[in-house]
Amino acid sequence: MSSTERPEVVVVTGAAAGLGRAVAQAFGKRGAHVGLVARGRDGLEGAKREIESYGGKGLVLPTDVAVPDQVEAAAAATEEAFGPIDVWVNVAMASVFSPIKEMTPDDYKRVTEVTYLGYVYGTLSALRRMLPRDRGTIVQVGSALAYRGIPLQSAYCAAKHAIQGFMDSLYCELIHDGSNVYVTMVQMPALNTPQFDWVKSRLPRHPQPVPPIFQPEVGAEAVYWAAHHRRRELYVGWPTVKAIVGNKIAPGFADWYLARTGYEAQQTDERVDPNRPNNLYEPLPGDWGAHGSFDDRSKPTSIQLWLDMHRGTIAAAGAALAAGALGFLVRQRM
């Protein structure tokens, strides 16, 4: 950013911890001014300190994304403090690890309000500001589970599927209107975030992300890239590609495979107290940071993501090599 350019203004929901925290860090490292939206003030204050240590600015906005008036107030406060919002990133989520037969109506209601409607409310607040200016970017953090549901996470999977359908409608409407507002969805793999230490769970053992696991910074860099490149959708990690494409080809096989492996893959060997505190309705105290408890098993990079982000350059290089080889063969025959 040159001295004559204004800093990028960004809103990140779920910014107190996990992937949202890593996304806020990624923008802060580039000097952005970031509206930090989440319920937990301790984590928001930690995110603000990090961003300002990088040279950006942070604004702490304690908000429950399930309440549309609070989301709208956070958007207004961000613009009052920093100016027009350039990028809005929806990350906030809630989940319940449980077989469907043990779920309650309130479980489904709360997860849907946060993980689906929270995205809708954030998108509406962003559009109210971006459409009249005819510019801006909205990034929805999705998941391989937006395409392929798995056992024990039915509420979360359903919410991610709903976001995918919402986005299909939004793409069409923006094209119809000739809008220059850009929207994209980034589909994530399993990430090492603190959610597995605080999520409501009825499982007998400690929940875990389904291996292979990636560090949240991998997802955060994908979000930052997607916010600045015209890509309708971005898949992060080979497991995401495999889950989405494989489900399109053989969904019945995926049902069978997940029935056999999905329960064990989502639990460690550690027993867990079924009454442990969780953050479904209230944030847990403390600053949980971006990383969960699986650092020793998490990948810091994704070759698939790097190749995908550079596919234009790779294709051009491949075309140049092919042209050179063809020219060589032609000369050899002359």
Which of 116, 119, 147, 156 is an active site residue?
Answer: 156
Q: Which residues pair with 159 in a beta bridge?
A: none
Q: Which residues pair with 62 in a beta bridge?
A: 38
Hey, what amino acid is at 201? S
* CA 322 and chain centroid, separation: 37
In a 3-state reduction of DSSP, which class is residue 76? helix
Whether the CB-CB separation of 205 and 269 falls below 8 Å is answered with: yes
Q: Do the strands 213-214 and 298-299 form a parallel or antiparallel pair, or are they unpaired? A: parallel
Q: Which residues pair with 88 in a beta bridge?
A: 11, 138
Give the position of tokens 């603000």: 48
Beta-strand runs (E) in 113-242: 137-143, 182-188, 200-201, 205-207, 213-214, 233-235
156 catalytically annotated: yes
Nearest to 29 by CA among 54, 52, 10, 5: 54
Angle made by CA atoms 217, 52, 129, in degrees to the nearest 5: 80
How far is residue 172's CA from residue 89's CA, in Å, rounded to a whole number?
Answer: 20
How far is residue 61's CA from residue 73's CA, in Å, rounded to a whole number?
Answer: 9
Whether the CB-CB separation of 4 and 180 falls below 8 Å is answered with: no
Nearest to 86 by CA among 139, 46, 36: 139
Beta-strand runs (E) in the chain: 9-13, 33-38, 57-62, 87-90, 96-97, 137-143, 182-188, 200-201, 205-207, 213-214, 233-235, 267-271, 298-299
Catalytic residue list: 156
